[in-house]
Amino acid sequence: MNKRGKQPQLRKAGQGILAAAILAAFGSSPAWAHGEDGTVFELGTVTIMGKRPQAGEVGEDQVASVVTRQEMQRFNRDNVGDALNLLSGVTLSNNSRNEKTISVRGFDARQVPLFIDGIPVYVPYDGYVDFNRFSTADLAAIQVAKGFSSVAYGANTMGGAINLISRKPTKALEGDASIGFAEGSERQASANVGTRQGRWYLQAGVSWLRSDSFPLSSDFRPTATEDGGDRNNAYRKDSKVSLKVGFMPNASDEYAVSYYKQDGKKGQPPSTDPTAARYWKWPYWDKESLYFISNTALGRSELLQVRLYHDRYGNEVDSYTNGSYTTLKPSGSGSVGTGRSIYKDKTNGGSITLESSRWDAHSLRLVAHFKSDDHRETDANSTLNSNFKDEFLSYAVEDNIQLSPSFMLALGAGRHEQRAKTVYSLGNPYSVPGRKSANNVQAGLYYDWSGIGRLYATAAKKTRLPTLKDRYSQRLGTFIENPNLQAEEALNYEIGYQGRAWNGAKAEAALFYSDVSDKIQSQANVVGNKSQMRNIGKVHLSGLELGVSGQYASWLEYGANFTYTELKNVSAPAVKLTDIPRRKLTAHALLRPMDQLELIAFIENNSGRWANNTLELSGFTTANLKANYRLTRQLALEAGVNNVADRNYALADGFPSAGRNWFANIRYQY
């Protein structure tokens, strides 16, 4: 039986959308994101568009769908969660386990899963990931698909997909290194090196971070569980090693093996509300992965791509009686069984994609996926409390049809099956439930307006099959398991525009709407006072995204994006949908008073968000400032301040965010 808690997510959007959409008529051209020095690993990209970008580029299928390496460095986005927050349509939050979570247009991380080079990396048991654990130091770019995503991703992309793209060297020797310091006794360092030697290449990276805490705002009012100043029990340690070896025997074929090892350790700050405080520590949060990706040309018209992967996930959470963290708490509120809960999960899987351009004006893609998830939980006595194993099998087809030089029609369909293979929970005899299935279908029409931009309209029926936790968790004895849960379903619609607003400026806009049915939600008092997860939810998600960026002159660059989101709980109008602000605005300016110096200002504004049915957290505005001085072409010094005004704000009730804090970095690139 699982004993760990998790908080749900979802949210709201409405009027004024059409009026705001008129502003979208600014014009633009199809947006492309470039990896510095051509370091994008093309085999790791996943796109809808039949026409692939040039080497070293990542194509944008939609509005605000790529974060580049340059943007991650420019705005000091050292983890994936903070990097994603640069995009419109993405909302950042925290949960009670001190995990950084995201939502994309109202869909949470189970419905918008995480991938590395097209390979799924979300935790098998509950489908979530802690985005704070994933460093950006070795990434070339991040792709985000919203609502409409390629069938090549496989199952469970109900609200889209997030794909972390690794690097690939193009020179005989290239690399970078950095070292940084920040408030809270934070220290971090990273290094990446790559080499291209004829038909072979090698890419390696290492990153390390250690932080004792983070400072709270001076306006924070102490409580019985948090005395202010440095946040209690907020330490963290993270390290990551990555290695890729590739072979390119000719111009069309490529074979690459990648290895990743992540090790983490963290404290979990208690809620500032004493009645909700948990005293937890995570002695380890580790992940180890081995991936193989290949492209093989089969004659002139076909291309075969293979992905194979093995992932191991291990973590432990220890529950304590109070803030001294000396005595384990084996039972009662805020505890895990025997005071220690140990997860050992693993995933094995693969996919085969056959692409064909044999027929004129068609780019056909056939995809098959297999994935096996295995979850094991033990306690302090090494007793096996639970063992669950699922297998997924998917088949899909995608066809991009060039209707004319300007119009392209993208069609896709897929079938996904979930089979329970092992179901064991100590003291709870289960029979293995039957097979579950879900069908997806989608269509998109793209119009390239020569010299001006791109217009597109998409519609997609997407699904998410229930996780192991959805079906089997009894949540400290307060829930009844439901092995017969079925898939959630969403109908996603979007119209968008990408192009040039004026010389040197890119503009983009999108309207989106999703109709979610059979949403997995809890139903209270099913047997006595016990609840159960059921397919009872119906939610409408809608909104608007706007963005503009450009260069006014050689000394001034600028950018801004705006998101308006409205979430309507159709099945239970009195129940608030939580954790997502109705409005989010970000803006930045980069000033170059001299060639060697960059001054960067970044502002983010969020409106209020509901934390629960009765509490709405206040909105906030934060400002960050940074200076970057390049001593030589390779060596740069950086220093800055986040939350300059020392705002006291929270993304989740009981978990205040950092107040004013400084940082400094040294970067070297060769």
Tell me, what's the pLDDT at 340? Answer: 96
Judged by average pLDDT, the poorest of 9-13, 66-70, 308-312 is 9-13
Q: What's the chain's length in residues? A: 670
Residues pairing with 522 in the sheet: 533
Which residues have a Cβ under 8 Å from the Cβ of 651 and sit 6 or more positions away?
92, 93, 94, 579, 609, 617, 657
Max CA distance (Å), the chain: 71
Which residues have a Cβ under 8 Å from the Cβ of 533 and sit 6 or more positions away?
466, 470, 471, 479, 482, 485, 520, 521, 522, 523
Evaluate the CA torsion angle 639, 645, 648, 652 in order and state its sign.
negative
**pTM over the 0.75 mark:** yes
Distance CA 576, CA 653 (A): 14
Tell me, what's the pLDDT at 363? Answer: 93
The pair phi, psi for residue 152, each rounded to 5°, is -65, -15
- At residue 46, does pLDDT exceed 90? no
Closest C-alpha to 154, from 126, 178, 121: 121
Single-letter code of the amino acid located at 143: Q
When pLDDT is cut at 50, 70 and 90, the band that residue 4 belongs to is: low
Tell me, what's the pLDDT at 264? Answer: 95
CA 40 from centre of chain: 19
What are the tens digits of pLDDT across the range 112-143? 999 999 999 988 898 888 999 999 999 999 99
What are the CA-CA distances from residue 13 to residues 10, 311, 318, 481 (Å)?
A: 12, 38, 40, 33
What are the tens digits of pLDDT across the range 198-207? 999 999 999 9
Location of structure tokens 């990555």: 242
Return the ∠ at Cα 342 (arms to 386 and 162), rounded to 5°. 90
- At residue 360, does pLDDT exceed 80? yes
What are the tens digits of pLDDT across the range 546-601? 999 999 999 999 999 999 999 999 999 999 999 999 999 999 999 999 999 999 99
Location of structure tokens 């990446």: 192
Q: If you write DSSP's letter for every residue of 562-630 in order, what string do you get?
A: EEEEEEEESS-TTSPP-S--SEEEEEEEEEEEETTEEEEEEEEEE--EESSSS-EEPPEEEEEEEEEEE
* Average pLDDT value over all residues in the chain: 90
Q: What is the dihedral of CA 60, 104, 164, 462, to 10 degrees?
A: -80
When pLDDT is cut at 50, 70 and 90, the band that residue 337 belongs to is: confident
When pLDDT is cut at 50, 70 and 90, the band that residue 59 belongs to is: low
357-376: average pLDDT: 95
- At residue 6, does pLDDT exceed 50? no
Report whether 284 contacts 315 (CB < 8 A).
yes
Residues pairing with 314 in the sheet: 286, 344
SS3 477: coil
What are the tens digits of pLDDT across the range 191-200? 999 999 999 9
What are the tens digits of pLDDT across the range 448-464? 987 788 999 999 999 99
What are the tens digits of pLDDT across the range 270-283? 999 999 999 999 99
CB neighbours of residue 382 within 10 Å: 9
Location of structure tokens 């001085």: 629
Tell me, what's the pLDDT at 12? Answer: 36
Report whether 145 contacts 164 (CB < 8 A).
no
95-120: average pLDDT: 92
528-544: average pLDDT: 93
